Amino acid sequence: MSTVEHGIVVTETEEEKTLRLKLEEKVLRYFQNKEIAKERNEENKLLFEELEALFEESGEEEIVIPLPNGENAVLSPQIREKEVLDKEALADEMQVPKDELKTPFDFSMFTAQGKLTPAMITKHTTIEREVKMKITKRKATSKRRRAKR
């Protein structure tokens, strides 16, 4: 195959053509696989949401489902706790605009000025609990593990 580049005739060898075709084929497969992975991830996200609803509906503490490969799928609740500071209520108590309580520097300034105390932060901090479903794979244990004597 000959092409003209900058007025010069360039001829591709068979080896170069083969290499080019291989590259094109691999690039095409690469992007097809990425698209398939994206579609699968979207499907799994929807499946997970459906599983969460069904798990919550079941009221079970843990559900174990055998998989074709001999492992088990385990659905269980995962509890996440986080401390949440009600900055609005804290700002009200301190009698400052909420906007003045944004950065750690702001908090340290008010503490240094004596306008903010650890007790005030404790008073306006609550613990939020979020229960989510967790799905994991676990190897099936055919024999109970014996306690060491």
Summarize pLDDT for 95-136 with one digit per residue, the tens.
999 999 999 999 999 999 999 999 999 999 999 998 889 999
Report whether 135 contacts 74 (CB < 8 A): yes
pLDDT value at 146 more than 50: no
The answer to whether the beta carbons of residues 62 and 76 sit under 8 Å apart is yes
What is the rounded distance in angstroms from the CA atom of residue 80 to the CA atom of residue 128?
Answer: 8
Q: Report which DSSP code applies to 130.
A: E
Structure tokens at 142: 């055919």
In the chain, where are the structural domains located?
1-58
User: Is there a contact between 128 and 84 (Cβ–Cβ < 8 Å)?
Assistant: yes
- Here the tokens at position 6 are 């900058």
Q: Above 90 in pLDDT, residue 142?
A: no
Q: How confident is the model at residue 91 (pLDDT cuts 50, 70, 90)?
A: very high
Give residue-wise pLDDT tens across range 31-89: 999 999 999 999 999 999 999 999 989 988 999 999 999 999 999 999 999 999 999 99
| Residue 9: strand, helix, or coil | strand
Tell me what the pLDDT averaged over the chain comes to. 89
Structure tokens at 41: 């991830």
pTM for this prediction: 0.56
pLDDT band at 141 (very low <50, low <70, confident <90, very high): confident
CA distance 35 to 148: 51
